[in-house]
């Protein structure tokens, strides 16, 4: 048995692109930047290294979600990995992408609605509770979240 589940959060790297297949299925494509925090071996300082993850969402939810996302939007994604390969101009190409099952809007923007008490909003089935329409009164701003102090987790003695 294998498990194929992915959870990421980050910011959209570009405006989402909505298109339809020949059969009429809506397809939403967007990229999410996810930072990996590592210690710089020369300076000893912690630095963020971005990873750019392609994400794809299908169906009627894709069309609805597309209205609430834009470049820079902070989101949390749950989904599964899918590997694709093809040939173009005689060259073999491939990519690994996340097929989105659940998405939570974590930032408030002009085009985003459906805020929950924690300042986020969500759209999808499952445990996230579905999309909630924007309230007539704006939700209060959430309390700022403090980042935990940086801890030197990585040691030169670790063999990997």
- Of 13-22, 24-33, 72-81, 114-123, the range with the lowest mean pLDDT is 114-123
Q: Does residue 137 belong to any structural domain of this protein?
A: no
Give the integer Cα–Cα distance in Å for 91 and 152.
Answer: 43
Q: Does residue 103 belong to any structural domain of this protein?
A: yes
Give the integer Cα–Cα distance in Å for 75 and 95.
Answer: 21
Q: Give the up-direction half-sphere exposure of residue 74: CA atoms within 13 A in the CB hemisphere.
A: 8
pLDDT at site 95: 93
More confident residue, 158 or 100: 100
Q: Does residue 151 belong to any structural domain of this protein?
A: no
Which CATH number characterizes residue 49's domain?
2.40.50.140
Q: Does residue 95 belong to any structural domain of this protein?
A: yes
Range of the domain at 52: 6-128
Q: 107: pLDDT confidence band, cut at 50, 70 and 90?
A: confident
Which percentage of the chain shows pLDDT scores above 70? 67
Q: Does residue 92 belong to any structural domain of this protein?
A: yes
Output the pTM of the full model. Answer: 0.65
Q: Does residue 20 belong to any structural domain of this protein?
A: yes
Q: Does residue 153 belong to any structural domain of this protein?
A: no
> Does residue 1 surpass a pLDDT of 70?
yes
For the segment 111-129, what is each residue's pLDDT rounded down to a tens digit?
A: 444 433 344 444 444 333 3
pLDDT at site 108: 65
Give the integer Cα–Cα distance in Å for 56 and 31.
Answer: 9
Q: Does residue 133 belong to any structural domain of this protein?
A: no
Which percentage of the chain shows pLDDT scores above 90? 64
For the segment 28-75, what is each residue's pLDDT rounded down to a tens digit?
A: 999 999 999 999 999 999 999 999 999 999 999 999 999 999 999 999
Q: How many domains, the chain?
A: 1
Region of 93 please: left (phi>0), alpha (psi -120 to 50) or beta.
beta
């Amino acid at each position: 048995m294998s498990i194929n589940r992915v959870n990421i959060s980050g910011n959209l790297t570009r405006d989402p692109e909505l298109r339809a297949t020949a059969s009429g299925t809506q397809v939403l494509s967007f990229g999410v930047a996810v930072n990996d925090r590592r210690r710089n071996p020369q300076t000893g300082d912690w630095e963020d290294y971005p990873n750019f993850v392609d994400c794809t969402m299908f169906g009627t939810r894709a069309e609805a979600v597309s209205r609430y996302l834009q470049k820079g939007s902070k989101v949390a994604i749950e989904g599964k990995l899918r590997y694709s390969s093809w040939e173009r101009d005689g060259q073999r190409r491939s990519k690994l992408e996340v097929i989105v099952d659940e998405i939570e809007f974590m930032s408030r923007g002009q085009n985003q609605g459906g805020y929950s008490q924690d300042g986020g909003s969500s759209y999808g089935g499952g445990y996230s509770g579905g999309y909630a329409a924007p309230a007539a009164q704006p939700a209060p701003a959430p309390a700022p979240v403090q980042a935990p102090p940086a801890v030197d987790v990585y040691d030169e003695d670790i063999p990997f």
